[in-house]
Amino acid sequence: MKNRFHNPVYLLLAIATATSGCASLAPNSTAPEIAARIPAAFDRNEADGPYQSSRWWTGFEDPVLNRLLDEALVKNLDLAEASARLRAAEARARISRSGLFPQVNAGLNSSYSDSPTAGTSFGSFPGATAGRLQNETYSSSLAFSYELDIWGKLRNDARAGRADAVAAAADLQAVRLAVLAESITSYFDIVDARHQIALTSKMIDVLGDRVEQSEDRYRRGLITSFELYQVRQDFRNVQASLPQRESQLAATEGQLAVLVGRYSSNMQELLGKTLTPKLIFEPVPAGLPIDLLIQRPDVFAESQRLESARHNLGARRAERFPSLSLSAGTGSQAGNPADVLNIFDNWVLNLGAGLTAPLFQGGRIRANIEVADAQYAQQTAVYARTVLTAYQEVETAIERYEEERQRYRFLFSQLEEAQATAALQSRRFANGVGSYVDYLDALRAQYQVQSALSSAARDVALARLGVHRALGGSWDNVPGAPDIMAAPPSMQGEE
């Protein structure tokens, strides 16, 4: 037994076992300065408390929207593509991890040879006669090979692959949020477009009556030709806007159809004739900026790519040092198939160890290290920029949400005034003290404010969407909300 450990194979095995796993040449894991200095709170946060990641769109209390988004999450082709990318990344991670384990191969071999003895040593013996030499050999084998990861190359490659797979999973979540956001945006564009088309049709009817009244007044000499021209011009402009609005509605429905994996001709059965989303005015608790590092899928994905670059640099550095490989083979060998199974009498054993050190590679190893180091620095900058962008997007989204709510409240009060004016002119005309033209003008002004209010309602919904998208949560349940065309909660008692 003592002499056995003088064998170089056993000596290398003992040294490798003692040193394997003791070294790693990857840089220390440290957060970039920008991420480490992220502010403690958002400057514009309107509500205290943690961010409630949720299926927040259920707060619109719209079953059509809920069905639409459920279908998008199942049938969207961007999500299918991102899912396939994730599968590929996970498979690559398993490939990179496979180097940490021994490689085992089994084999069965047979060989047969038939050659003349003439001209060989077999035919040169005294008394030997010319003839043929036949030989059959059968063997079974079980081979093991293993590279001892002394410098951490294989471990770093495996960790880099795993980090890339985790980044791909975060990318899938980012695509999911993008699909939901684009679907919600298209849906509210459709809601607004339908309102605008209905209001435009009403304005066409009002302006048609207004043209008739103006023509009658022109014939009686009560207005000039220029005033009549202005009324007719307004009428034609509104008429011309209707086909444009209908075209925009068709295009938006087509965009939504692509998002849910349908043809546009099949969208009506999903959308129906009546869309009744409600509007939410409550502020969104944004939580703490540091939560973005995990909460936002794009930020988390870049942090994982930074980890991948760090481990990749460690793996490339390890290539400068010797690698030690061990191999072992066992099996049996015999002259016929039956005896090859008699492993106790015909066994074969081979042990090997190889130590390989790079001496001259033409600068390849050094260049690979420089590439990996540059990629690590590049990914550090990408991650820092992504953190900065995420923080600024939240600040901007919160500010926009507040401004859009203020705009909606202003337009709602303006609508109340327009409705009161139209009602007054209607009573004056009914009592014979006001003109029908004044009533038509007041009714047109009311429709114009309603048109602006419809767009403002859409903008409030999309601004709230922007806050949730900037915060990047998983979006669970959200409480209900008032009607999309109703007053904000603070105004409902004033109607």
Measured N-to-C along each axis, helices 225-259 and 153-219 cross at an angle, to the nearest 10 degrees, of: 150
* pLDDT for position 32: 83
Domain ranges of the chain: 21-103+149-322+364-494
Residue 194 has pLDDT above 70, yes or no: yes
- DSSP string covering 350-382, please? EEEEEEE-----TTHHHHHHHHHHHHHHHHHHH
pLDDT band at residue 480 using 50, 70 and 90 as cut-offs:
very low
pLDDT, average across residues 145-156: 89
Tell me which residue of 272, 270, 251, 263 sits closest to 69, measured CA to CA: 270
| DSSP conformation letters of 438-451 | HHHHHHHHHHHHHH
d(CA 319, CA 150): 11
Q: How many CB atoms lie within 10 A of CB 70?
A: 12
- Mean predicted confidence (pLDDT) in 293-319: 92
Q: Which amino acid is at 127?
A: G
Residue 488 pLDDT exceeds 80: no
Please tell me the predicted confidence (pLDDT) of residue 491: 33
**Which of the two residues, 124 and 117, has the higher pLDDT score?**
117
Residue 11 has a pLDDT of: 47
pLDDT tens track for 408-426: 999 999 999 999 998 998 8
Highest mean pLDDT among 128-137, 283-292, 304-313, 327-336: 304-313
Q: How many CA atoms lie within 13 A of 399 on its CB side?
A: 9
Digit-coded pLDDT (tens) for 78-103:
999 999 999 999 999 999 999 888 89
Mean pLDDT within 437-456: 90
Q: Is the dihedral of CA 362, 368, 371, 376 positive or negative?
A: negative
pLDDT tier, 479 (very low <50, low <70, confident <90, very high otherwise): very low
Say if CB 170 and CB 89 are below 8 A apart. no
Mean pLDDT confidence for 268-281: 86
In this predicted structure, what is the pLDDT of residue 126? 56
List b or e across 107-117, with b for residues whose CB sees 16 or more CB atoms inside 10 angstroms.
eeeeeeeeeeb
Mean pLDDT for all residues in the chain: 83
Helix (H), strand (E) at residue 327? strand 323-334
Predicted local confidence at residue 120, as pLDDT: 59
CATH of 21-103+149-322+364-494, one of 1.20.1600.10, 3.90.1150.10, 3.50.50.60, 3.40.50.300: 1.20.1600.10
Q: Report pLDDT for 477.
A: 35
pTM: 0.81
**CA–CA distance, 321 with 241 (Å, rounded to integer):** 74
- Give every strand in the sheet of 347-356, ordered side by side: 103-116, 132-148, 323-334, 347-356
Q: What pLDDT sits at residue 55?
A: 78
Over residues 138-156, mean pLDDT? 87
Residue 110: which pLDDT band, with cuts at 50, 70 and 90? confident
CB 331 within 8 Å of CB 348: yes
The radius of gyration of the chain from alpha carbons, rounded to an integer in Å, stands at: 39
